[in-house]
Structure 1
Amino acid sequence: MSEGKKMTSSRRHHVKSLILSIAAAWLEQEATENIAAKEAYMAEKCAIPDLSGDQASLMEICKKLHQALDKVDEERYDAGGKVEKADKEIDDLKLKVVELAGVKKPALKKVRMSADSMLQALLGGKHKVTMDLRANLKQVKKEVKEEAGEAVGDWRKNIEDKADRKKMFETS
């Protein structure tokens, strides 16, 4: 046995199994108590109506049941309103706590990711298509200009070049 351990492993397993068996017994006892409490509540709140009698007495029983249903429905509605109000107050208090603490934005790190890896991270295993963003770009042909000395001397040639450029952008 080492210095740090105070129990052997067999002793530890034995104690653990005892604790688990006690906890299982407590859970079982709690479940039986819950069932008994439910049965007592149902016996108190929902008495079995006497259905023997003529039509008038049955109609009276139905009216009482409808009144009881209305009462329970009103209580449920009121409880729902209280819960909604409490939830709104909780949200407001959470916002106040955040405001008091001050919003601290973490320093974001710049990460280089390709479009494929970004889609893979967002969509998970669903992403099968690879995106080649450069494939959809328009091809542009570069014109080789004549020597700069000639264009400077002849101003008409320079204007014709500019007119060609203008036509090129207008047709696009």
Structure 2
Amino acid sequence: MEELEAEKAASEEKKVHYLGEKIPPLQLSSLNIDDLQHLHAKIDVADEERYDCEAKVYKNNRDINELKLKVLDLGGKFKKPALRKVRVSADEMMSALFGTRTKESVDLRSNLKSVKKENIKQEKELTMEVGDWRKNVEAVSGMEGRKKMFAGGVQ
């Protein structure tokens, strides 16, 4: 950090020394009003040119950054081709996946889990038997329900 500050100070000294050699200091006390106005107009023109140059540099830097981003985006992407609908049989699909050229027919349905229809019917019947739970609660609630529970358990 100290070296950077030293470099900045050295460059400022060089700049001041160079400008002191090339441009003599202004003697404004000896100038009349017309000369001062003429000098002021020249300063305005130079300031406008400086502002225009700064705006161009800023715009060019922004354009360069945008183009760099576009190049980076395009570098990693490629256009995907449009896919076509293709009808492929199971045998052709298996040969394409595993690279086998044999004509063995593979039964893909044999690997699927089988569901028994009887179990589904039994589950539906069980849910139908339970019915409304509130009726069951009303029947068991109160002393009569408790007597039924104990009487049922004793017999």
TM-score w.r.t. the length of structure 1 is 0.38
TM-score w.r.t. the length of structure 2 is 0.41
